Amino acid sequence: MPKAHVVQIKHYGPPEVMHFADLELAPPGRGEVTLRQTAIGFNFIDISQRKGLAPLLLPTGLGHEAVGVVEDLGSSVEEFKIGDRVAYMGAGPGAYATFRTVNAEKLVAVPDGLSDEVIAAHFFKGLTAQYLIQKTFPVRNGHLVLLHAAAGGVGSILASWASKLGATVIGTVGSDEKCSLAKANGCAFAVNYSRKGWEDEILAWTGGTKVDAVFDSVGKDTFLSSLDLTTAFGTVIVFGMASGPAPAIDPELLNRKGCLFLTRPSIFPHNAATAQFRENAADLFKAMSDGMFDTNTYSRFDLTQVHDLHRAVEAREVSGPAVIVP
């Protein structure tokens, strides 16, 4: 079996806590598949877990998704063969690696029309967008929605996909420079949420109309404003914490704000069952093939540059998806 070059952490902290190790892989066991990984997806949760904001059992690897080629099969694996191109998400942290062994139930075959890097750059983020706008709040023609971090990895996909479904998307971003990116992604209007009074700018643009739903991956810095900007009986979806966890609130506040619906969903329960995961992935691959969002724009880093990638994302120097190449 090949040696795997992997990224590990033994304690939480800055990017420097990530270190490289070479591990001997055991042959795949029953129901397992060993992959030669060709492209690895990066997600903000990787930073949260590295810093201990979303704790893991230490020591641990990082990363939740990758695309690769089947190198070896354990017993009872019948749906894949050696040489197949596959992707996974939700196999547990450890995707920052050259080779990896995962349970076959976590794998999905990938279509020929999409490259490994394109899939890795968008798989986790695309599946996030898929459950948010198809299940958590099914976006339809005529909806007015607010999307925080509209120039980010998930945000860029959500903005485009939701707008092509007929919604009017208002985006917030962390700098004035990113407003143009949000508009290019499909936002009808974009505002810098780090500037005081951004909420008033949105209401001025809408003529005082509040939104049907808010997709909030920022958390602490935007959550209370998200409640204020949502129409009566509207939905606030908190699915991330880029600025820190959203503050705790008294449920009575939802009543006072207009009988709002508040939810905190996650990608993993939506894709826990193998059949559901593969159905969701097929829906995503179709959206990608149909051009529901741009799949050609992403940042590319070698695995040896993983420290630089984490630093750049934390400094908000990276817009849109990023892919790590082993």
- Location of structure tokens 């619906």: 261
Residue 307 near residue 125 (C-beta atoms within 8 A): no
**Residue type (1 letter), 167:** A
- Residue 131 identity (one-letter amino acid): Y
The residue among 250, 284, 303, 307 whose CA lies nearest residue 135 is: 284
Q: Backbone phi, then psi, for 173, in 5-degree steps?
A: -140, 170
**ω into residue 111 within 30 of 0, thus cis?**
no
Question: How far apart (Å, rounded) are the C-alpha atoms in residues 68 and 116?
Answer: 7
- Model confidence at 224, in pLDDT bands (50, 70, 90)? very high
Give the start-to-end residue ranges of the domains of the chain: 3-114+295-325, 125-267
Spatial separation of the C-alpha atoms in residues 20 and 43, rounded to whole Å: 19
Supply the pLDDT for residue 262: 98
- pLDDT reported for residue 54: 86
pLDDT at 321 over 90: no
Report the range out of 45-59, 145-159, 203-217 with the highest average pLDDT: 203-217
For the stretch 85-140, pLDDT in tens is 999 998 999 999 999 999 999 999 999 999 999 999 999 999 999 999 999 999 99
CB–CB of 190/173 below 8 Å? Answer: yes
In the numeric block, the tokens 């097929």 are attached to: 282
Confidence (pLDDT) at 316:
79
pLDDT computed for residue 53 by the predictor: 87
Architecture of the structural domain at 3-114+295-325: Alpha-Beta Complex (3.90)
Give me the sheet containing 19-24, strands edge to edge. 19-24, 3-9, 60-61
Kindly report, residue by residue over 229-253, the tens digit of the pLDDT.
999 999 999 998 888 889 999 999 9
Computed over every residue of the chain, the mean pLDDT equals: 95
Residue 34 — φ and ψ, nearest 5°? Answer: -95, 130
For residue 56, the tally of other CB atoms under 10 A from its CB is 16
For the residues of 235-287, what is the DSSP string, one character each?
A: EEEE---TTSPPPP--THHHHHTTS-EEE---HHHHT-SHHHHHHHHHHHHHH
Can you give the pLDDT at residue 50? 97
What is the CATH topology of the domain spanning 125-267? Rossmann fold (3.40.50)
- Asked if residue 319 has pLDDT above 80, the reply is no
* Torsional sign, CA 128, 131, 134, 136: negative
Check residue 184 and give its pLDDT: 94
pLDDT tens digits, one per residue of 60-82:
999 999 999 999 999 999 999 99
258-271 residue pLDDT tens: 999 999 999 999 99
Alpha helices in 52-197 (DSSP H): 116-131, 153-164, 179-185
In the chain, how long is the greatest CA-to-CA distance?
A: 64
CA 308 to CA 111: how far, in whole Å?
31
Q: What pTM did the predictor assign?
A: 0.90
Q: Is 99 exposed, middle or buried (0-12, 13-18, 19+ CB in 10 A)?
A: buried
Q: Is the pLDDT of residue 2 over 80?
A: no
Q: What is the pLDDT of residues 7-54, one digit of tens each?
A: 999 999 999 999 999 999 999 999 999 999 999 999 988 999 999 988
Bridge partners of 23?
4
Question: How high is the pLDDT of residue 301?
Answer: 97
